[in-house]
Amino acid sequence: MRNGEIRIRDAGVSYRLYRERVTTLKEAVVQRFRHLRSAEMFWALRNVSLTIPPGDAIAFVGHNGSGKSTLLKTIAGVLQPSEGEVLVQGRISPMIELGAGFDSELTGRDNIYLNGALLGFSRKQMEAKFDGIVAFAELGDFIDMPIKNYSSGMYARLGFAIAQDVEPEILIVDEVLAVGDERFQEKCKARIKDFRTSGVTFVFVSHAHAAVSELCARAAVLHHGRLAFDGHVEQAWERYRELERGPAPGPSAAAL
């Protein structure tokens, strides 16, 4: 495999759903060890196959609960597939959940070093990157404030500022461009376009047609955990709308 390449082969992610209500710890322990609780398998993803070559820009679109975030988490290594395989080559910079990897009791400054360590960078390397990250985030003196006091927009700015400055070969972004002011969103889009020009693989989840069309030429539509379409972004969007106009799905698990 080449750096920046992602190969997904018949990937599936399943969870056990327990229908019986347990009201006490004793009932939970007894039922677990006696195998008395009935469970069914819920497949958040099933039989998903696609290849993302180095430097490609692809969006995953679909209704809430369609499996988009689950697929991103398997690519990032947060989840392991229950079946099939997900192969990734290269340094990943993920922005999957707002504030993931942050310690709310620490300052923005400390979280920069913490996230750098999680991504495999030494403190010395992060010291060299620190000023650029702070400048991109535009947090000023707030960088030395505990991030539990940050707004969602400030979280997003700090998270994206770290992600964009760690020399990724694969950049994963999940809806973060929907947070924060419009000017900062445009700044993030410009940075993503720089990444694309330099050959970074870009994987994006968004419900915003304009952002998807602007940043990606290819899109994959997920529907109830399965791949419903993979191709040109405008054709994918039409397929997504067709599925949205279809019969309403029955009761299912919440989005995973």
Set out the domains of the chain in order of their start, with CATH numbers.
6-20+39-244 (3.40.50.300)
User: Sign of the C-alpha dihedral, residues 214, 73, 183, 240?
Assistant: positive
Element (H, E) at 204: strand 201-205
The pLDDT assigned to 254 comes to: 43
| The pLDDT of residue 238 | 95
pLDDT tens, residue order, the chain (256 aa): 889 999 999 999 998 876 666 666 666 665 555 555 556 788 999 999 999 999 999 999 999 899 998 999 999 998 999 999 999 999 888 887 656 678 999 999 999 999 888 888 899 999 999 999 999 999 999 999 999 999 888 888 898 888 888 788 999 988 777 666 788 888 888 998 999 899 999 999 988 899 999 999 999 999 999 999 999 999 999 999 999 887 655 544 444 4
Distance set, CA 42 to CA 86, 95, 129 (Å): 19, 26, 43
Cβ of 53: how many Cβ atoms within 10 Å? Answer: 12
Phi, psi torsion values for 244, nearest 5 degrees: -65, -30
